Structure 1
Amino acid sequence: MNFLKFSILFRNRLRIVPISFFICMIFFPYMNNIKLSLLSLFVFLTLSVSAQKLLVTGKVMEQESNKPLSFSTIRIFDLEDKLLNGNLSNELGEFSIEIPSLEFYLEVDYIGYQTIKTEVYRVAKDAKRFSVGELKMNLGSNSLDEVTVTAEKSQMEFTLDKRVFNVGKDLSSLGGNAADILVNIPSVTVDPDGAVKLRGSGNVRILIDGQPSGLVSFKGGAGLKQLQASMIDRVEVITNPSARYEAEGMAGIINIILKKDRKTGFNGSYEVVLGLPANYGLAANINYRQKKINFFVNYALSFTNTPSWASTFQNRTVGEELYILRQRDEGAVTGLNNNIRGGLDYFFNENSILTASYLFSRSDGGRTVDLVYEDFLGSLSNPTAVSTRSQVEDEIEPISEYVLNYKRTFEKEGHVLSAQFRFLDHWENSDQVFTENFFGVDGKTVLRRPSVQKSINDEFEKQYLFQLDYTQPFAKKGKFEAGVRSSFRDMVNDYEVTDEQENGTFVPLPEFVNYFVYDENIHAAYGILGNEGTKVSYQVGARLEWTDVQTELRDTKEVNPRNYMNLFPSAHLSYHLGKENSLQLSYSKRVRRPVYNDLSPFMTFRDSRNFFSGNPDLNPEFSDVVELGHLKYFEKASISSAIYYRNTVGLIDRIRTLNEVGFATTRPENLNSEKAIGGDITADFKPYKWWKMDWNLNVFNAKIDGSNIQEDYKAQTTTWFTRYNSRFTLKNGLDIQLRLNYDAPRLAAQGSRKAIAYADLAASKEILKGGGRLNLSVSDIFNSRISRYTNFGSGFVTDGESQGRLRQVNLTFNYKFNQDKKQ
């Protein structure tokens, strides 16, 4: 770099120093040296401003419907094919980009549409502004025999307020399920037990097609294993949502979008999966559109067998005595999963669309677990008892979801009215048998007759949801949004455990028999006002939510009503620095309400030494979230970065306690607070046409105060996780993808969790003249994705490790007809 280039770069970076200094002053009271280093890294990435000569404006539209295409990618090149600048179109399809040249051409990309390459424009020397007018895009080719130039769908797409992960481009997810997809998304982690975290927080709201789903009602993130990856189009991650979205979810929202196409004619895809451990699947996605009707259907059938293991080592001190427990679990979960989703769009005209859809999911599962307990007194050289316990479970879980949606667009761009009705009908039946045998210290001598229990667990859920949204544009680029939403949710759990008597009859255990009722009604209204300028854009809003929750244990007549109303403000301020370089400062207030599993007092009975239950007295937790995001595009790369601060009151966390005989109970409790500050960087880089890589790093510091439970339940931890992905596109349609993952150790209020490192590898080959693709993937190559933890409490320390899913190898065949080959 010569002196002149250095001087220009230094001068341009100085222009943003006042902004950076102001940011530092805001966050300084909360930062230690590590936090300051993180902020310094973020500020360095934002210091780039370019000269401005000509403002190029225009609008991207769909040819067939004449509707705007939001967030299209526009790049401007000079006559030597050098990138001058670029940006994304806004929600109205409009864009304005500053360039330092008067001779140029544009390239416009949008997922599923043919790339536009415009003519060369030559602008008068004294011009300061130039409009290219409307750029209209056609859908991708309807025939595989036609030769067209189409844009390859990127694996990740960035905007300031969300990230979009396109499932079809991730080779390692093919043949898997929705939980496997989330493992590969930047800033998202999924532990071996299926719990989903965003930026290190498990308080994340998971939606399917923008709404709650029965798949996550009872089992949380673990329920996503029932949804096959072949049905998913993309995943949106929204870290600081506006008032438009429900306030649930401290860390943000993960929105899983299912596949649906509106391409004219008949098109679709088929998929076959073979895997080890057993993973067999068939899937089809079909779409047909003719004039005013668009019909779509997705079907997936799979059978899986997922082995797992866990071990626990516990020291318990009572007076002068030391009691030791060594435990080993081995098990497997089998599942036959059926998912079918169908629907149709009826076009009254291109501005008025009615959509009806139906989703049916049924899982027929089985679980077997074998546990071994070894008890010692004083040391491992002094065994006192050995016992074994087995669990055999049969489970049926059908889910039905009905959706009716209407959307009306008016003459003025951005003027939209939409309404939705959704009904969810979900139930689950689980029958379990537990058998426990008791032996002497040799592990062979039978001490007494086996103990046999049976558990019957029936759960039912019905939910009605109504939503109305309205957007009214004003001025040139301003808009006002408003909406209302009502949700009525009723859940019931009929639970009973019986114990076998000497005469062979089964008698209910009183402490494990009850009928739990959960009624939840949430009503909300919101308003948002926003405007967009050449440099500065803003959006301010507020959401009012009224919550009415009541739980009831009918057999013991315990009723627990909860009613509260809360205001959730949000604000977003964006500043465009030029040269595909933008900043956004945002604030929102969020809530995590205790849900059904958090409140249900019934204990799991699989493990006779370790019980898990909910807490009917749990209160909601509230967070204030501030985030500063930065988005920068380069010719061959892009960087999305952010720093965030989250202050949580009433933090919900699971606490483990031991009774007088050493049996453990784990249930959620409200802790005093958690204060977290962190930084997040996601970057992609394409050094060559055949090599593309992306990298994500999240670093955060959390200070947890659980002294209201026990005085020493306090922890401060600085931890991080990172993910690196590299994809090579070789000759003859061969792709290879390598992904490396590392989740660093972290502390919690009641212990710690050790690091997790694992790697994934996949290869894909085009066949059948590009219409088909064969994919081989290996998840967790080294079988190292093992969770290790330590918990402590009054008089005990517990060390444990577990692996909920072992190395998985999948072979997937996919065939597309009448679709773009590179989607």
Structure 2
Amino acid sequence: MKILLFTLCLINLSFTFVFAQEESGFIISGKLEDSDKKPVLFANVALYTAKDSVLTGGNATDETGRFQFPAKPGNYFLKVTYLGLDDKFVPNVNVVSGNVSLGTITMKTSAKVLQELIVRGEKSQMELQLDKRVFNVGKDLSNIGSNASDILNNMPSVTVDVEGNVALRGSGNVRILIDGKQSGMVGMNPAEALRQIPGDLIESIEIITNPSSRYDAEGEVGILNIVMKKNIRYGLNGSFTATAGYPANFGGSFNINYRRKKVNLIASYGNMYREGPGRGTSRQEYNSADTSFVYEQKTTRNRGGYSNNFTVGMDYFLNKNNTLTGTLSYRNSQNKNNSQLEYRDFDFQNNLTQTVVRNERETEPRTNVEAALNYRKTFETKGRSLSFDAKYIFSDETESAKYEQSTSGEAVALRQRSYNTEDEKNLLFQLDYIQPIGKDGKVETGLKSSIRMLDNDFSVHQLNEAMNWSILPDFDNRLAYDEKIHAAYLMASNQFGKIFIQAGLRGEYSDILTELKKTEQVNHRKYFNLFPSLHLSYKLEEDQTLQLSYSYRLSRPNFRDLLPFSSFSDSRVFRSGNPLLNPEFTHSFEAGHLLNMEKGSLLSSIYYRHRLGVVENITTVDSTGFTRITPVNLSTGDSYGFEFNLTYDPFAWWKWTANANIFRAINEGFYNDKVLKSDTYTWTSRVSSRVTLWKNVDFQTSLNYRAPRKTTQGKDLSQYSIDLGFSRDILKGKGTITASVRDLMNSRKQRRIVENAGYYSQSEFQWRARQFIVTFSYRLNRSKEKERNQDTGDGSEEQ
């Protein structure tokens, strides 16, 4: 409460200061026309001081080609820019004691060929920064027409398994943000939610492997930040995209904004219908003193449905130092998931004894609503700022399934149904302040409070001989999860010659209550932790930089890990959560070397992570052959790795990117008085080549590879895939047609072996078959060249 009162007082003082200011000066106005006397719409008109060429103001022309903006008394010149027309300079714009009308200004058609400018100004697919790597999604042709889950699976050092679980550098404890903030879009069920976000609405992916203290301490291995498309260009502009593919993949999206004077309006919408046919096989063998069994399982499934993502927002520029932003997002999806499991039971002489078929029909509606408010104030001192964020998130999801099971072709002998409702409410408050110190230094500080409440009700019903539905008591409970986290951080940075230093400390107080209401199991945890971070950078030469970093982080169990129930579709293999899970804690060290070359760049790094309370999925089998997979705090873990990211352009028309992550992972712990350990050497890599032909045609090939990896109970086998993409610009650069094939060889399959005390399992599963996609995109009042040479801007970052 004290944090909230302090925040409100600051906001009140800021707004009092804002509205007490008065804008003084006179109006500069005029009109733009081209050589044919037609008005030039939405051109940029910039005002510079004549003395030192400092940008002091400006605006864009409106629908009639007119412009106007305020200016204080002084001597200026104008620079007018518009794609396809020569830049226009208007000298001797003198503001003395009244408004200045410049009349009609004529712009001439440009005779220059822009191709050279396009190549030099184009955003690269990968941008390297001190504390993160930024990957521009649109530059990878295999990402066009896909979803967020597909795009993440194409990122270096990121892997997405067949169930949609995301891992970074081999660890699944990665934090996923939307526009630098926690979002309900990936809150309760990240794996499924990421599949519902159209890739056409994503601008870039930021990979932050060793976050500083300004970020939440959550995420053992780092942060993946999904930056959505947005812009604040003057006038009306945007983009429209339509997609069609096989297996069924149809959708459309738009992203538009309109800015005039003090108001910027934004709106984006994405609609998608997808079907995901998948299949898999497995063989289970178990032999003990009490029981023995052997069976093979064949699975076919189709997960699909439609989703809608809609966002509206407004930036209101109170004046040049104060901005108020409000956004409202709504997401709704309706999924229908059907599957068939066939069990073939054998005796130990490999004779078939019976065949059991189980069918599932599931509906899965989801709704997510987010409302956010941001106030940002900058000061006359460069780099000084104050910002406040508030967000409310509401999510609702219901999984309702019906099951029918028969044996050896007989009539249906077993009917069951399950219900799983998941509701979430989330409230966030955040305050951040940056104060520059000296020439290159600054101090950052902030406060954050988040309240999260989740409610999960799960039950399984079975039709008895009297044709009445009865609840199975072993699969009936209700989980209430209440989480309150309050944080504060302080961070300072400065540059001393060639050395840059950034050090910070974050404190987080956690109050977490987990309660199983029907069995009256309560687990209430309160703890306070300090999380230091340190980043060092040394510029060896003009084109080489050495980086060192350290951070201490934690990973709290996610929602799915805590749920005592997950899915009942497989009657013999049950995946469940563990309400008693504790967080993992990690010490992370990293050293990197950045080399900028004439035709590319190379970022190489080595890292080490020491983890405590590592969570792993443990497989157990009872005497009836029922297999249960449950996460537990199993072990202590150490990871050593080497990683490199290379961009190389041998010619202006040929671009290469390559990355690899080679690491060793050691885990050791105890479960049921037995030692479980693994020591594995493995690696992941991706190589991509893009060729530009005839100046407006791009062709891209990509290869992904994931090497085998040992686990504490078995082994994950290798996986590889090839993607192809082809694009061509049309309509004078305002439109683009893209065709792509994901997983050309149909080889993106998860293959796994599990061995444990007389139990052996070997499985292979493919979540989604090879995809063919065709996409058309159109840019309104923005050509492709102009997009490449203008910064779209991005959101603030979570702290």
Fold equivalence (TM over 0.5): yes
Moved more, 317-326 or 408-417: 317-326
Q: Counterparts of 1:791 and 1:646 in 2: how far apart (Å)?
A: 26
Matched, 1:182 2:145: no
Counterpart Cα distance in 1 of 2:321 and 2:407: 71
In 2: Cα distance, 1:227 partner to 1:417 partner: 31
Find the counterpart in structure 1 of residue 721 from structure 2: 758
Partner of 1:572: 535
Provide the TM-score with structure 1 as the length reference. 0.81
177-186 or 581-590, which deviates more: 177-186
Contact 1:248–1:593 (8 Å) recurs in 2: yes
1:661-672 matches, within 5 Å, as 661-672=624-635
Residue ranges of structure 1 left out of the alignment (5+ in a row) = 1-58, 67-111, 117-140
Alignment-derived partner of residue 252 in structure 1: 222
Q: Within 5 Å, give how 1:298-697 maps onto structure 2.
A: 298-319=268-289, 322-380=292-350, 382-439=351-408, 444=409, 446=410, 450-697=413-660
Task: Tell me which of 670, 677, 682 is aligned to 1:707.
Answer: 670
Counterpart of 1:259 in structure 2: which amino acid?
A: K
The answer to whether the Cα contact below 8 Å between 2:243 and 2:773 also exists between their aligned partners in 1 is: yes
Deviation track 1:322-373 (CA, whole Å, cap 9, x = no partner) reads 4211001100011211001110100011211111011111110000000001
Structure 1 residues 501-558: Cα deviation after superposition (integer angstroms, max 9, x where no partner) = 2232211112222221110111100000110132001011110001111111112221
Deviation of the 1:455 alpha carbon: 1.1
Q: Deviations over 1:398-432 (max 9, x none)?
A: 10011100111111111010110011010011211
Is 2:405–2:412's contact at 8 Å kept on the other side of the alignment?
A: no
Separation (CA, whole Å) in 2 of partners of 1:451 and 1:513 = 19
- Deviation of residue 147 (structure 1)? 7.6
Cα distance in 1 for partners of 2:751, 2:289 equals: 29
Alpha-carbon distance in 1 for matches of 2:673, 2:745: 39
**Identity, % of aligned pairs?**
42
Secondary structure of residue in 1 paired with 2:150:
helix
Three-state SS of the structure 2 residue aligned to 1:742 is strand
Instruction: Give the count of matched residue pairs.
Output: 687
Report Cα offsets for 1:570-599 as digits up to 9, x if no partner. 001110112221011100001011122111
**1:655 Cα deviation from its structure 2 partner:** 0.7
What is the aligned partner in structure 1 of residue 208 from structure 2?
238
The Cα shift of 1:216 comes to 1.9
Residue equivalent to 2:232? 262
Change (3 A) 1:343 1:661: same
Distance 1:604 1:710, change over 3 A: farther
Q: Considering only aligned residues, what root-mean-square deviation do their CA atoms show, in Å?
A: 2.2
Whether 1:224 aligns to 2:194 is yes
> What's the secondary structure of 1:713's corresponding residue?
strand
Residues 61-100 of structure 1: matches in 2 within 5 Å?
Answer: none
SS at match of 2:295: strand
Contact residue 423 and residue 465 of structure 1 kept, 8 A: yes
Separation in 2 of the partners of 1:281 and 1:62? 42
1: CA distance between counterparts of 2:55 and 2:242? 34
Residue type of the alignment partner of 2:429: F
Change (3 A) 1:573 1:658: same
1:816 aligns to 2:779 (yes or no) = yes
2:250 counterpart residue number:
280
Give the secondary structure class of the aligned counterpart of 2:670.
Answer: coil
| 1:207 to 2:177 alignment | yes
Q: 1:299 to 1:320 in 2, by over 3 A?
A: closer
Q: How far apart are 1:712 and its partner, in Å? A: 4.0
| CA deviations over 1:225-263 (Å, ceiling 9, x no partner) | 110011111111100000000011111000001111010
Instruction: Describe the shift of the 1:795–1:277 C-alpha distance in structure 2 as closer, same or farther (beyond 3 A).
Output: same
Cα separation, 2, equivalents of 1:725 and 1:533:
38
Using a 3 Å threshold, how does the CA distance of structure 1 residues 436 and 651 change in structure 2: closer, same or farther? same
How far, CA to CA, are the matches of 2:752 and 2:664 in structure 1?
A: 19
After TM superposition, give the deviation of residue 175 of structure 1 in Å: 0.6
CA contact (8 A) 2:126 2:135 kept: yes
Q: Aligned partner of 2:257: which letter?
A: N
- Return closer, same or farther for 1:670/1:709 CA change in 2, 3 Å cut-off: farther
CA contact (8 A) 1:144 1:819 kept: no
Deviation of 1:115 after TM superposition, in Å, equals 15
Q: In structure 1, what residue type is equivalent to 2:277? A: P
1:462-509 deviation per Cα after TM superposition (whole angstroms, max 9, x unaligned): 000000010101111110000010000001012221111223221111
Cα distance in 2 between the residues matched to 1:174 and 1:389: 37
Which residue identity lines up with residue 546 of structure 1 in the other structure? Y
Displacement of 1:603 in angstroms is 4.3
Q: Is the 8 A contact 1:234 1:256 kept in 2?
A: yes
1: CA distance between counterparts of 2:670 and 2:625? 23
Choose the corresponding residue for 1:779, options 734, 739, 742.
742
Task: Report if the CA contact (8 A) 1:204-1:251 is conserved.
Answer: yes
**Deviation for aligned residue 1:710:** 5.3
Instruction: Decide whether the 8 Å contact of 2:86 with 2:110 is kept in 1.
Output: no
Separation (CA, whole Å) in 2 of partners of 1:269 and 1:580: 37
State the SS of the aligned residue for 1:641. strand
Deviation of the 1:61 alpha carbon? 9.0
Alpha-carbon distance change, 65 to 372 in structure 1, aligned in 2, over 3 angstroms:
farther
- Rounded to whole Å, the distance in 1 between the matches of 2:750 and 2:600 is 34
CA displacement at 1:221 relative to structure 2: 3.3
Aligned to 2:165: 195
| Structure 1 position 169 matched with structure 2 position 169 | no
Question: Structure 1 814/553 Cα, relative in aligned 2: closer, same or farther at 3 Å?
Answer: same
CA contact 1:496–1:508 (8 Å) conserved in 2: yes
Alpha-carbon distance in 2 for matches of 1:799, 1:438: 24
Q: 1:368 to 1:257 in 2, by over 3 A?
A: same
Superposed CA offset, 1:706-744 (max 9, x none): 234553411100100110000000105110010001100
Inter-partner Cα distance in structure 1 for 2:53 and 2:331:
38
SS where residue 785 of structure 1 aligns? coil
* SS state at 1:153 partner: coil
TM-score when normalising by structure 2: 0.84
In the alignment, the residues of structure 1 paired with residue 703 and residue 56 of structure 2 have an alpha-carbon distance, to the nearest angstrom, of 42
1:795 matched residue in structure 2:
758
Question: Which stretches in structure 2 are left out of the alignment for 5+ residues?
Answer: 1-51, 60-82, 88-106, 789-799
Q: Quick one: which amino acid aligns to residue 199 of structure 2?
A: A
What SS does structure 2 have at the residue aligned with 1:572?
strand
Distance 1:495 1:671 in 2: 26
The residue matched to 2:413 in structure 1 has which SS? strand
Cα 1:754–1:529 change in 2 (3 A) is same
Residue 192 (structure 1) shift: 2.1
Residue 26 of structure 2 is matched in structure 1 by none
